[in-house]
Amino acid sequence: MEVQYIDLFNGEQKNDWFKEINPKQKVPALKVKDNLVLTESVVICKYLCHLAGNVSIYPNNPLAQAQIDEAIEDARIMKWAYFPMTKFFGKPESAEGLKEVEDSMQSLVDLRFKNGNTFLVGDSITLADIVLAVNISMATIIGQYNVEAKYPALIKG
C-alpha cells in the first residue's frame, strides 16, 4: 500500500492533484481501485476489517457490528473539534465553547459509562473505542485538556 503524506496546514488537500483523488478534499482517502476512493476514517477502518476477516475490533457478526456502529455514533457526541479549531484554525477560545465540550463529554459518560464499564461495547476494545480515543486525543494532545481529571471513565479503556 502506497502512503502519501498531505500537508493539511498548508492546504495541500486543496490541490488539483488531490482533488482528482478525493473531490471532498478531505483526509484520509484510500484509493481502492482506479475510480473508487473511500474517504471517511471509520468507513476505511471497517473496509480494512472486512478485508482482514473476523477481527475482534469489528467482528463478522451483524449484531456485534450494529452495537459497535451505534457506539461509534454515540462517541460522536463529543465536541472534540473545538480544540483543533482554536489551536490551529483561528477560532477564539471561549468559556461557552469549552462548556459545550465538557457538556458533551459528560453526556457521553452518562450514556455509555454509567455502569462502570471500561469499553463502549462489551469487555474488550472495539472500533468504537478507537474512534473515541482519537476524539479524546484531540482534547488531551492538541487542547492540553486534562480529560482524566474530570472524566476518568472516558479514558479507562
Q: Give 42-68 as a DSSP string.
A: HHHHHHHHHHH-SBTTB-S-HHHHHHH
**Domain at 8-48, CATH homologous superfamily:** Glutaredoxin (3.40.30.10)
Q: Domain ranges in the chain? A: 8-48, 59-155
Residue 58's pLDDT is: 97
Residues of the chain with pLDDT under 70: none
Residue 10's pLDDT is: 87
**Placement of cell 471509520 in the chain:** 42
Q: What is the chain's Cα-based Rg? A: 17
CATH T-level assignment (fold) for domain 59-155: Glutathione S-transferase Yfyf (Class Pi); Chain A, domain 2 (1.20.1050)
Residue 60's pLDDT is: 94
DSSP-derived 3-state class of residue 33 = strand
Cis peptide preceding 28, ω within 30 of 0: yes
Residue 71's pLDDT is: 97
Q: What are the C-alpha distances in Å from 156 to residues 29, 42, 136, 153?
A: 30, 22, 12, 6
Q: b or e along 42-61 (b: 16 or more beta carbons within 10 Å of the residue's beta carbon)?
A: bebbbeebeeeeeeebbbee
Residue 30's pLDDT is: 93
Which cell goes with 19?
482533488
